[in-house]
Amino acid sequence: MLYFVEIDVKIPDAIDPSRLAELQAREKIASAEYQLAGEWLHLWRIAGKFGSVSVFNVPDHDRLHEVLSSLPLFPFMTVRVLPLARHPGALASSPG
């Protein structure tokens, strides 16, 4: 299933800078692993915000939740998920 996911990140002001750097490094590794596995198809920065928009290709809602909740920055995220369906006018035949 394809999902559009919008993520906004709000880091608490009181977080230790070294802890934040560690979380961000782990986040980068995790996102790369999911991209290489073909589950995280597209990842885009939102200009002017600490957040992203993405397209995921996972089997079901539960797997999407597993992926998102495993991200190191998940505790600081507000996530909006929209399941996607093929548009009848779309020329592309693949989910990517």
Whether 89 is covered by a domain: the verdict is no
The per-residue pLDDT for range 73-88, each reduced to its tens digit, is 999 999 999 999 999 9
Q: With respect to residue 93, please indicate whether it lies within any of the assigned structural domains.
A: no
Check whether 96 has a pLDDT greater than 70: no
* pLDDT above 80: residue 92: no
Write down the pTM of the prediction. Answer: 0.89
pLDDT tens digit string along 48-76? 998 999 999 999 999 999 999 999 999 99
Q: Could you tell me the residue range of the domain that residue 23 belongs to?
A: 2-84
- Look at residue 69 in the predicted model and tell me its pLDDT: 98
What is the predicted pLDDT for the residue at 94?
61
Give me the chain's average pLDDT, please: 95
Q: Alpha-carbon Rg of the chain, whole angstroms?
A: 14
The CATH number given to whatever domain includes residue 59 is: 3.30.70.1060
Q: Sheet with 51-57: list strands edge to edge.
A: 40-45, 51-57, 2-9, 77-84
For residue 31, being part of any structural domain is answered with yes
Residue matched to tokens 């399941």:
83
